[in-house]
């Protein structure tokens, strides 16, 4: 009897949790009366360590869909965005992709700002013959790994790491560097490797003084900082290869320990969390390369910032908002050019994209390549704001 009771409690709680953990949401305003819609899937990590990149990115994506629908849709058909929460969990990401493909029968899928999750969900879309465009995952080898239905809307990690190295060497005039990288993510490992490669090319083989490691969510970096402070020759630059959830804490602890060496990183730093958690520490010589600067003086950027603000009542949180926005328009452009909603035709149209003007730059896919060549923006934190420093085309 007692055992039954226990079982009952456990089952009840599990059910309750399964109920509240459900990830699907449909935007009701995108449905039309006659039901003639084009279903586009969106998988973003709304919860978990990636949420500070993914949630704003999804906002950008939905905003674009809304604008397209208000302008009459694609050939008279409205877009219906079906969004799923990947929960910063590869299993959840895979399940979400399967559901979009099998149940909702979407014509294309977009999503993610990190390669690990894109790599989990991508193959499902590939096997089902549905094009997958990642709005923010930047591992350059992703399309090769997943297959010919997989596209990147952003530049690859090689591009942003090269630009970081270049800016550090040429503009900040640094000769030696210390690297701290997160071993739990492909993104951070690759970013560090590309940076090291380029920085050595620019400053010689001995330019990297030390490479140290940590793992996502470690919280305490005192041992690494102690080692950095104990180095015989202090480095000119710190390259911190971390994801969005850790960058603020690392910068804060570095500065609190009295390390004021310039810090540079990639788009993992392009999150409000850098300023919120890094506090005063982030205002000390902190740079990063990312997809675009939202303070740039360009018509497209200004329009985007304006409509984002109108829709959500806040400035775009980071460049991932623009990437999400661009990705929706990129897919819509391909559907229009394909002339129908057959996934195969959409894929072919995507692959043929040339000179597509986006907020984050111009997207063209070279034949056989599904990573665009785009310019990279370098930003600096000043008084709690991201300030545009320079645009570099690698």
Partner 1 sequence: MSGTYIIQNLLDGISLGSIYALVAIGFSMTYSILRLINFAHGDILMIGAYCAVFIMVASHLPLWAGLLGAMLFAALIGMMVERVAFRPLRGANEEAMLLTSLAVSIFIENLGIMTVSAQPRKFETTQALSFMHQIGEISVSNMTLLIFFLTVFLILLLTLFVTRTRLGVAMRACSENLVAARLMGIDINKVVACAFAIGSGMAAVAGVMLGAQYGRIDPLMGFIPGLKAFVAAVIGGIGSIPGAALGGYVLGLSEILLVALLPPMYSGYRDAFVFFILIIVLLIRPAGLLGILEGRKV
* Residues lying near partner 1 in the complex (CB under 8 A): 2-3, 5-6, 9-10, 13-14, 16-17, 20-21, 46-48, 51-52, 55, 182-184, 210-215, 217-220, 222-224, 226-227, 229-230, 245, 248-249, 252-253, 256-258, 273, 276-277, 279
Q: Kindly tell me which of 219 and 303 has the beta carbon lying closer to partner 1.
A: 219
Cβ of residue 185: shortest distance to partner 1, in angstroms? Answer: 10
Cβ of residue 110: shortest distance to partner 1, in angstroms? Answer: 21
Distance CA 184, CA 248 (A): 17
Cβ of residue 181: shortest distance to partner 1, in angstroms? Answer: 8
Q: Kindly tell me which of 31 and 215 has the beta carbon lying closer to partner 1.
A: 215
Spatial neighbors of 43 by CB under 8 A, at least 6 apart, are: 83, 84, 85, 86, 93, 96, 97, 100, 109, 110, 111, 112, 117, 121
Q: Kindly tell me which of 96 and 331 has the beta carbon lying closer to partner 1.
A: 96
Cβ of residue 210: shortest distance to partner 1, in angstroms? Answer: 6
Cβ of residue 319: shortest distance to partner 1, in angstroms? Answer: 18
Cβ of residue 218: shortest distance to partner 1, in angstroms? Answer: 7
Do 342 and 350 contact (CB within 8 A), yes or no? no
Q: Kindly tell me which of 5 and 35 has the beta carbon lying closer to partner 1.
A: 5
How far does CA 279 lie from the centroid of its chain? Answer: 23
Q: Kindly tell me which of 256 and 387 has the beta carbon lying closer to partner 1.
A: 256
Q: Kindly tell me which of 231 and 387 has the beta carbon lying closer to partner 1.
A: 231
Residue corresponding to tokens 């690698």: 394
Cβ of residue 370: shortest distance to partner 1, in angstroms? Answer: 31
Cβ of residue 257: shortest distance to partner 1, in angstroms? Answer: 6
Q: Kindly tell me which of 183 and 393 has the beta carbon lying closer to partner 1.
A: 183
Q: Kindly tell me which of 19 and 35 has the beta carbon lying closer to partner 1.
A: 19
How would you class 345 by CB atoms within 10 Å of its CB: exposed for 0-12, middle for 13-18, buried for 19 or more? Answer: middle
Q: Kindly tell me which of 190 and 293 has the beta carbon lying closer to partner 1.
A: 190
Cβ of residue 355: shortest distance to partner 1, in angstroms? Answer: 37
β-strand partners of 286: 263
Distance CA 60, CA 312 (A): 10
């Amino acid at each position: 009897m007692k055992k039954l009771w226990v079982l009952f409690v456990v089952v009840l709680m599990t059910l309750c949790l399964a109920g509240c953990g459900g990830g699907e949401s449909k935007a009701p305003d995108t449905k039309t009366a006659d039901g003639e819609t084009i279903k586009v899937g969106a998988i973003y990590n709304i919860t978990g360590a990636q949420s500070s990149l993914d949630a704003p990115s999804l906002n950008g994506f939905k905003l674009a869909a809304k604008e397209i629908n208000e302008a009459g849709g694609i050939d008279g058909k409205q877009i219906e965005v079906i969004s799923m929460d990947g929960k910063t969990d590869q299993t959840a990401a895979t399940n979400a992709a399967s559901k979009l493909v099998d149940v909702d029968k979407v014509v294309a899928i977009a999503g993610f700002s990190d390669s690990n999750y894109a790599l989990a969900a991508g193959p499902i879309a590939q096997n089902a013959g549905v094009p997958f465009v990642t709005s923010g995952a930047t591992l350059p080898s992703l399309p090769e790994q997943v297959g010919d239905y997989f596209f990147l809307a952003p530049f690859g990690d090689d591009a942003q790491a090269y630009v970081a190295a270049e800016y550090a060497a040429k503009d900040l005039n640094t000769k030696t560097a210390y690297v701290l990288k997160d071993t739990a993510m492909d993104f951070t490992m690759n970013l560090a490797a590309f940076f090291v490669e380029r920085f050595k090319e620019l400053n010689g083989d001995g330019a990297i003084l030390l490479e140290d490691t940590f793992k996502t969510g470690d919280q305490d970096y005192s041992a690494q900082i102690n080692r950095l402070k104990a180095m015989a020759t202090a480095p000119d630059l710190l390259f911190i290869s971390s994801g969005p959830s850790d960058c603020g804490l690392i910068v804060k602890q570095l500065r609190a320990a009295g390390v004021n060496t310039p810090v540079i990183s990639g788009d993992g730093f392009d999150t409000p969390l850098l300023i919120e958690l890094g506090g005063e520490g982030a205002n000390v010589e902190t740079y990063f390369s990312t997809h675009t600067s939202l303070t740039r003086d360009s018509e497209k950027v200004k329009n985007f910032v304006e409509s984002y603000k109108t829709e959500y009542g806040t400035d775009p949180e980071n460049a991932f908002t623009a990437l999400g926005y661009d990705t929706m328009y990129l897919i819509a452009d391909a559907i229009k050019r394909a002339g129908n909603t057959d996934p195969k035709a959409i894929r072919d149209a995507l692959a043929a994209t040339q000179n597509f003007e986006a907020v984050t730059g111009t997207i063209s896919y070279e034949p056989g390549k599904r990573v665009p060549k785009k310019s990279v923006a370098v930003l600096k934190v000043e008084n709690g704001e991201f300030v545009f420093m320079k645009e570099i085309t690698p």
